[in-house]
Amino acid sequence: MKVLVPIKRVIDYNVKIRVKADHSGVETANVKYSANPFDEIAVEEAVRLMEAGIVSEIVVVSIGPAAAQDVLRNALALGADRAVLVQTDNEIQPLAVAKLLKLLCLQESPRLVILGKQAIDDDSNQTGQALAALLNWPQGTFASKLVIEDGRIEVTREIDGGLEILSLALPAVVTTDLRLNEPRYLSLPNIMKAKKKPLEIRPAASLDINVEPRLITVRVEEPQQRQAGIKVADVTTLLNKLKHEAKVI
């Protein structure tokens, strides 16, 4: 069966985020970008399903600027077969991303789409659910375990009170949580091999879908910074401060 994995290119999680002086957004010039960590987990899961003989083809997709080819190449080096870049320099919000992905799903007919549960830049946590809704497919979000058997997928979900296990008919949409797996490292030979794998570029405009933003960013600000407090010498002083100064115990 075929699996589609959407990958978002985001500012690397180690980068210290700075708000632009004109408050229009965050500083993106000269910062390191990588694949959204949850999407690396999604690729890894697809590759493991392929190694287990369940998946026969992995197609990775990114929607974003030309530079997003890098995250797609990395995914190809990890084991994906083919990549598609839906190229745009415009801001594409989750609903529009889901609409573009729906179109690709109709063309590619995957049995499973694995997305990250959230992108670490915009923290929206929506795209997978939105895609499932538009396709009218079942969804298994925040997955920490997947078992595929007899045309169904059993998804173990990380929920606030513990775990929930759902059984979904395929085709379905799954979003990854952190503990689904630990992605492997890229090897140099695989990076070289990936250069020969197909990466198709399609201008977003050619897909004929209205992707105009529905949310207008009015202003972006720094949150209030906490000030470092004091160091206390021992437990007695600590409890004293908490009781008489902070009055929280």
Ligand X SMILES: Cc1cc2nc3c(=O)[nH]c(=O)nc-3n(C[C@H](O)[C@H](O)[C@H](O)COP(=O)(O)OP(=O)(O)OC[C@H]3O[C@@H](n4cnc5c(N)ncnc54)[C@H](O)[C@@H]3O)c2cc1C
Task: Output the smallest distance, CB 9 to ligand X, in A.
Answer: 7
Point out which span in 63-71, 80-88, 187-195, 217-225 binds other proteins (CB under 8 A). Answer: 217-225
The residues, ordered by sequence, that sit 6+ positions from 36 with a Cβ below 8 Å of its Cβ are: 7, 8, 9, 10, 116, 119, 120, 121
Type of residue numbered 213: P
According to the binding rule CB under 8 A, does residue 26 interact with other proteins? yes
Which of 21, 206, 234, 244 forms a contact with other proteins (CB under 8 A)? 234
The yes or no reply on residue 32 touching other proteins (CB under 8 A) is: no
Measured CA to CA in angstroms, residue 51 lies from 39, 54, 56, 77, 78 at distances of: 18, 8, 9, 15, 12
Q: Which residues pair with 62 in a beta bridge?
A: 85
> According to CB under 8 A, which one of 6, 142, 148, 174 is a site residue for other proteins?
142
Question: Is 241 a binder of other proteins (CB under 8 A)?
Answer: yes
Q: Which residues bind ligand X (CB under 6 A)?
A: 6-8, 13, 25, 36-39, 61-65, 89, 91-94, 97, 115-116, 118-128, 217
Of the pair 54, 92, the CB lying nearest ligand X is at: 92
Q: At residue 140, what are phi and psi to the nearest 5 degrees?
A: -125, 95
User: What are the structure tokens assigned to 139, written together?
Assistant: 């969804």
Segment contacting other proteins (CB under 8 A): 46-54, 59-67, 183-191, 209-217?
A: 209-217
69 binds other proteins (CB under 8 A): no
Question: Could you give the dihedral angle defined by the CA atoms of residues 176, 37, 9 and 104, in that order, rounded to the nearest 10 degrees?
Answer: -20
- Asked if 28 is part of the footprint of other proteins (rule: CB under 8 A), the reply reads no
State in angstroms the smallest separation of the CB of 76 from other proteins. Answer: 26
β-pairing, 82-87 with 199-203? parallel
Beta carbon of residue 86, minimum distance to other proteins (angstroms, whole number): 18
Closest CA to 211 of 134, 96, 65: 96
